């Protein structure tokens, strides 16, 4: 066991490098509060010692006063010290309340600081991170730790300091009876040290192994309680299924956790037994001394107090140290997450196109597969999107159309081939410049749970758009009419999270389209813009779309021929390849895939 203890101690110590970094974080987030907290801690550590001395003084004075018959004059000095003691007690109570307040302020600040670091990191990472469960595990661990860690850490350090002071005082009391007594005190707590280290490390391993299982319970909980799943859950009667799934995972986690704590309790009991044996031996020795008349019975009583308190303090200290390391182990997870780096970044030396917009976009021999996927989404794919024109990319689901958008926005980099914007490689442009050039109306746009006006304004935050331009964009996209129908028009909060009003899928899509129009960027990409519109609405806005994107490069992704036909040039895409290109008329004349589908559709329409 003692050989093992060194190995474990080493593992234990290896975790401590995170401590200075964590303390640095606390310091950065709450400087003044941390200074105040440290001062309070020292004061609180010293006060009990002051009280011990005052007690001794009171007892001494009382003993001498009572010796020659009590009189007011003799008792007075003792009463003054009693008064002083009362003041010290009052002061410690005051300090305790003060430190609760200071620690809360400090920990709230630290918590928010860490949350901010996590949020900053999360939005800076590549979309590719979302493809791996590992990322979710790391994020989960970092988030949970950010909430629980700071206060716990500060409490650990505080308790560690305060208890060390008390322990040192006890050791000082024991030394006069023999130097070996403090040594025995330490040896008697070694098994307890072993137990603390072993179970701290085991608990952390268990936690790491089960992060995904814990996340799974969060997922089931989310499925069971959130609005977005509520309708389908009821319709398919999935409530019991998810409840069982939740309970099954929880049962395993619960059992394992309880077993771990049970084993730890048993081990602690054995360690405590060893401590008691050591104490018994020490007391037997003291009694022997007393029998021989070397020490008094009072000494035995004092010794018993000091030794047992010392042992208790050692154990508390060990637990403090265990908790401290446990919390720094959690910190490791936080720092692991914070050290993730995005791969898609601006190069050291950036260039932008020589000519002003509109820009031509050229994809040359692109091969791309999603991170963690075996299948290529695009294989030796080439496409030119002409400057200042409307290009449609037409193809069935899964053809690779959305992938093209993601590559143009540089959410991912292709494995092979290159993408040119104007005359420069996309990879050589500054990333923020590139994203600024592009507006995308995504197939499933974000629903911002804020006012309708802000829902449109978000796309152009820098320009702080006024109501006139917001309304203009809404009229152009067809969002104006549904927004005016809402109880407070443009000031109505949308979505149900904060008591707002709900729009239909198609109406949300128009709001998102208004966002795209307001942004005024030289490249406009629409991913299935009409999927939730009926054919009348589709015709209504497609006819105005041309004016709106005049002078810009526009790309429409669609699987509808009726949408594609309005484009200047249509590329028909299937299984990651372009198979036909040309205007609507040219493609009809080609009598290929497009013409066949078109004839088929119009025939069906005529029949109806
Ligand atoms: P489309 O937009 O034409 O419907 P996508 O570009 O979304 O098609 O998808 C092209 C192919 O890439 C599909 O086979 C799809 O399964 C795959 N794919 C899409 N997104 C991912 C992803 N995040 N991870 C792995 N494969 C994906």
As a whole number of Å, the end-to-end CA separation of the chain is 85
Ligand 1 pocket residue status of 370, Cβ below 6 Å: yes
Instruction: Provide the token pair at 260.
Output: 């771990």
pLDDT of residue 607: 42
Ligand 1 pocket residue status of 403, Cβ below 6 Å: yes
Q: Which residues sit opposite 525 in a β-bridge?
A: 440, 555
Pairing of strands 438-441, 523-527: parallel
Distance 578 CA to ligand 1 centre (A): 16
Give yes or no for a contact between 307 and 284, defined as CB atoms under 8 angstroms apart: no
Torsion region of 384: left, alpha or beta (phi above 0 gives left; psi -120 to 50 gives alpha): beta
Query: Which residue has tokens 């990319």?
Result: 393
Predicted TM-score (pTM) of the model is: 0.76
Atom of ligand 1 minimally distant from the CA of 400: 6
Identify the CA nearest to 91 among candidates 55, 43, 54. Answer: 43
Give yes or no for a contact between 452 and 489, defined as CB atoms under 8 angstroms apart: yes
Query: Which residue has tokens 């009590």?
Result: 70
Give yes or no for a contact between 146 and 334, defined as CB atoms under 8 angstroms apart: yes
Average pLDDT, consecutive stretches of 10 residues, N- to C-terminus, the chain (608 residues): 64 70 85 89 74 68 69 79 89 90 88 90 88 82 72 76 75 79 82 85 87 91 88 88 96 96 94 88 86 75 72 78 75 85 92 93 95 90 94 91 93 95 95 92 88 93 86 91 95 91 89 88 88 69 77 92 90 90 93 90 55
**Residue 397, CB-side half-sphere exposure with 13 Å CA sphere:** 2
- DSSP strands (E only) in 106-169: none
Helix (H) / strand (E) element for 364: namely strand 361-368
Distance 560 CA to ligand 1 centre (A): 18
Ligand 1 pocket residue status of 374, Cβ below 6 Å: no
pLDDT of residue 605: 46
Ligand 1 pocket residue status of 575, Cβ below 6 Å: no
Q: What is the 3-state secondary structure (H, E, C) of 331-360?
A: HHHHHHHHCCCCCCCCCCCCCCCCCCCCCC
Domain 356-437+521-608 falls in which CATH fold?
Rossmann fold (3.40.50)
Annotate 459-487 with b (16+ C-beta within 10 A) or e (fewer).
Answer: bbeeeebeeebbbbbbebbbbbebbeebe
Distance 378 CA to ligand 1 centre (A): 9
Instruction: Provide the token pair at 5.
Output: 């203890």
Atom of ligand 1 minimally distant from the CA of 403: 6
pLDDT of residue 296: 67
- Which DSSP letter does residue 129 get? G
444-520 matches 17-338 in CATH topology:
no
pLDDT of residue 85: 86
How crowded is residue 425: how many other Cβ atoms within 10 Å of its Cβ? 13
Instruction: Provide the token pair at 316.
Output: 């508390």
The pick from 135, 398, 571 for probing ligand 1's pocket by mutation, whose C-beta has the most ligand atoms within 8 angstroms, reads 398
Q: Where are the domains of the chain?
A: 17-338, 356-437+521-608, 444-520
Nearest CA to ligand 1 atom 19: 403
Ligand 1 pocket residue status of 373, Cβ below 6 Å: yes
Ligand 1 pocket residue status of 401, Cβ below 6 Å: yes
> For 444-520, CATH number?
3.40.50.300
Total residues belonging to the chain: 608
Nearest CA to ligand 1 atom 12: 377
Q: What are phi and psi of 438, to 5 degrees?
A: -115, 135
Identify the CA nearest to 451 among candidates 499, 490, 479. Answer: 490
Cα–Cα distance measured from residue 281 to residue 286, given in angstroms and rounded to the nearest whole number? 9
> For 17-338, CATH number?
1.20.1560.10
Ligand 1 pocket residue status of 398, Cβ below 6 Å: yes
- Which DSSP letter does residue 490 get? G
Nearest CA to ligand 1 atom 15: 398
Instruction: Provide the token pair at 472.
Output: 């203009």
Give yes or no for a contact between 189 and 318, defined as CB atoms under 8 angstroms apart: yes
pLDDT of residue 129: 86
Annotate 188-205 with b (16+ C-beta within 10 A) or e (fewer).
Answer: bbbbbbbbbbbbbbebbe
Ligand 1 pocket residue status of 402, Cβ below 6 Å: yes
Pairing of strands 553-558, 523-527: parallel
- Which DSSP letter does residue 179 get? T
Identify the CA nearest to 303 among candidates 287, 315, 318. Answer: 287
Cα–Cα distance measured from residue 571 to residue 584, given in angstroms and rounded to the nearest whole number? 10
Identify the CA nearest to 234 among candidates 246, 224, 244. Answer: 224
Q: What are phi and psi of 395, to 5 degrees?
A: -175, 160
Cα–Cα distance measured from residue 99 to residue 37, given in angstroms and rounded to the nearest whole number? 7
The pick from 367, 377, 404, 577 for probing ligand 1's pocket by mutation, whose C-beta has the most ligand atoms within 8 angstroms, reads 377
DSSP characters for 544-572?
A: HHHHHTTTSEEEEEES-HHHHTTSSEEEE
């Amino acid at each position: 066991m003692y050989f093992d203890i060194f190995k474990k101690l080493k593992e234990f110590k290896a975790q401590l490098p995170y401590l200075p970094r964590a303390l640095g974080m606390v310091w950065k987030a709450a400087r003044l509060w941390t200074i105040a907290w440290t001062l309070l801690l020292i004061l609180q550590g010293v006060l009990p010692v002051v009280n011990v001395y005052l007690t001794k003084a009171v007892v001494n004075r009382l003993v001498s006063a009572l010796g020659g018959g009590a009189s007011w004059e003799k008792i007075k000095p003792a009463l003054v010290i009693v008064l002083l003691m009362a003041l010290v007690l009052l002061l410690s109570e005051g300090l305790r309340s003060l430190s609760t307040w200071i620690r809360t302020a400090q920990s709230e600040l630290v918590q928010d600081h860490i949350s901010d670091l996590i949020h900053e990191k999360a939005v800076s990472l590549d979309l590719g991170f979302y493809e791996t469960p590992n990322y979710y595990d790391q994020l989960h661990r970092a988030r949970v730790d950010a909430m629980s860690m700071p206060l716990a850490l500060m409490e650990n350090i505080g308790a560690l300091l305060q208890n060390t002071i008390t322990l040192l005082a006890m050791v000082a009391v024991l030394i006069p009876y023999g130097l070996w007594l403090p040594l025995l005190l330490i040896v008697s707590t070694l098994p307890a040290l072993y137990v603390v280290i072993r179970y701290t490390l085991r608990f952390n391993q268990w936690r790491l192994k089960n992060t995904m299982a814990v996340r799974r319970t969060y997922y089931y909980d989310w499925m069971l309680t959130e609005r977005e799943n509520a309708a389908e859950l009821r319709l398919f009667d999935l409530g019991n299924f998810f409840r069982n799934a939740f309970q099954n995972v929880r049962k395993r986690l619960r059992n394992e956790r309880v077993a771990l704590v049970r084993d730890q309790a048993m081990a602690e009991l054995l360690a405590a037994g060893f401590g008691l044996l050591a104490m018994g031996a020490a007391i037997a020795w003291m009694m022997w001394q007393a029998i021989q008349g070397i020490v008094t019975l009072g000494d035995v009583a004092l010794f018993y107090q000091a030794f047992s308190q010392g042992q208790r303090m050692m154990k508390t200290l060990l637990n403090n140290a265990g908790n401290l390391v446990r919390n720094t182990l959690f910190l490791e997870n936080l720092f692991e997450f914070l050290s993730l780096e995005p791969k898609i970044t601006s190069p050291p030396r950036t260039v932008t196109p020589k000519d002003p917009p509109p820009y031509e976009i050229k994809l040359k021999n692109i091969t791309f597969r999603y991170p963690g996927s075996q299948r290529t989404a695009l294989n030796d794919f080439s496409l030119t999107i002409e400057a200042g024109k409307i290009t449609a990319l037409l193809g069935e689901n899964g053809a690779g159309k959305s992938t093209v958008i993601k590559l143009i926005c540089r959410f991912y980099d292709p494995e092979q081939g290159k993408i040119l914007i104007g005359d420069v490689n996309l990879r050589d442009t500054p990333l923020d410049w590139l994203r600024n050039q592009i507006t995308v109306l995504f197939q499933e746009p974000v629903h911002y749970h804020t006012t309708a006006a802000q829902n449109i304004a978000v796309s152009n935050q820098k320009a702080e758009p006024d109501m006139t331009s917001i309304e203009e964009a809404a009229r152009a996209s067809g969002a104006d009419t549904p927004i005016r129908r809402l109880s407070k028009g443009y000031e109505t909060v949308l979505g149900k999270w904060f008591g707002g009003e709900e729009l239909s899928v198609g109406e949300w899509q128009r709001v998102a389209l208004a966002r795209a129009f307001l942004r005024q960027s030289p490249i406009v990409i629409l991913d299935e813009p009409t999927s939730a519109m009926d054919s009348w609405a589709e015709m209504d806005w497609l006819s105005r779309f041309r004016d709106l994107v005049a002078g810009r490069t526009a790309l429409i992704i669609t699987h509808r021929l009726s949408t594609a036909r309005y484009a200047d040039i249509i590329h028909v895409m299937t299984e990651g390849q372009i198979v036909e290109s040309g205007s609507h008329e040219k493609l009809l004349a080609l009598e290929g895939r497009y013409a066949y589908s078109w004839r088929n559709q119009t025939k069906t329409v005529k029949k109806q």
